[in-house]
Amino acid sequence: MQDGKVDSQVWCSDEEFLKSIQNYVNLINSRLEEITVNYPAYLELPIRYVIKAGGKRLRPLLALLSCAAICGDPKPAIPVAIAYELAHTAALIQDDIIDKGVRRRGKLSAWALWGTEKAMLISDLLVFEIFHRLAEYERFKISQERLYLLLKLIGDSARQTVQGEFLELELTGADKISEEDYMAIVRLKTGALLAASAAAGAIVGGGTTSEISAIYSFAEKVGMAYQVHDDLLDVVGEPSRLGKPIFADLRNRKRNFLLVHALNNGGNEELKFLKSLLGKQRVEEWEIRKTREILERIGSIKAALELSLKLSEEGRKLLKDLKPSPAKEQLIQLSHIVSKRYA
């Protein structure tokens, strides 16, 4: 709601929205499943495992919806949709290795099951598989210029994602990090891959330069909103519903948005307590309660929620010139959902 007016773009309930995209999700999952048959038995199991670990399929969903919003048909975006999900899965495997994360979405992570060396090789295989997906565009007969744009886009987004990961590691343990530093990390680490997957869908759908740019910027904002809300869930979420432990960022000495905000706005005693928990592997229940109380008092929880909602709203505004379509409405609904997930 803005200026007393109900946002007309909130056109269905979350449950209705999820039903409306289920065919897309089923298509994504079936295409990902097909990849595993190309490998010998000793590789098929781990590749099937990491692919079926699933998740929200946000990146491929953005590619399919963006393509459909441009040309009315999601099918041209299937290869890039799968390519970006493979890139994301590969990045998650490496994330878990870096963070020493034992569980991912309620299941054991790849390195916890097969060791670091094999997990890295599985990640590499998924990255190399991306080229096979892009090679499918031979049968779609897209122009050489658009194929070049696809290749450049996925290369740029992969580079930005690694830069974001590296910057985050560089700033891990730093005494103080600005909110600007945090936003730079999130834009690179999370926003880039989501933006590129959406823009790739628009490219293969035949979008104009302005349409591709608008969809890219929309998805970048939505990706940043998603990450800020993920930071919020790391503090206030329930582990049983998240599928992973909470306070993971704090244990890994990483500064998520709430910690950045608190460390820049809290009092001496509050800062002393929060800093004492950084890197602590076993956080007691009373420490979790006290941390939440501090973050609530300082306003960090409220600030995170407001920022996530603000970024989502900024993203929606970027789609205003896109022609009306069911897919456009689904993109808008998706932008609402990423900032109001509960767990």
Q: pLDDT tens across 172-227, in order?
A: 877 788 999 999 999 999 999 999 999 999 999 999 999 999 999 999 999 999 99
The pLDDT value recorded for residue 55 is 77
Q: 325 and 69 in contact (C-beta within 8 Å)?
A: yes
CB 199 within 8 A of CB 59: no
Rounded distance between C-alpha atoms, residue 134 and residue 47, angstroms? 19
Identify the H or E element spanning 80. helix 78-99
Report pLDDT for 169: 87
* pLDDT value for 6: 31
Q: How many CA atoms lie within 13 A of 305 on its CB side?
A: 11
Rounded Cα distance between 190 and 66, Å, is 18
- In angstroms, the CA 120 to CA 106 distance is 20
Which residues in the chain come in under a pLDDT of 70?
1-13, 54, 240, 242-243, 341-343
Per-residue pLDDT at 239: 77
Predicted pLDDT at 11: 42
User: 47 — phi, psi (to 5°)?
Assistant: -70, -45
Structure-token pair, residue 152: 């450049």
pLDDT at 7: 37
pLDDT at 314: 97
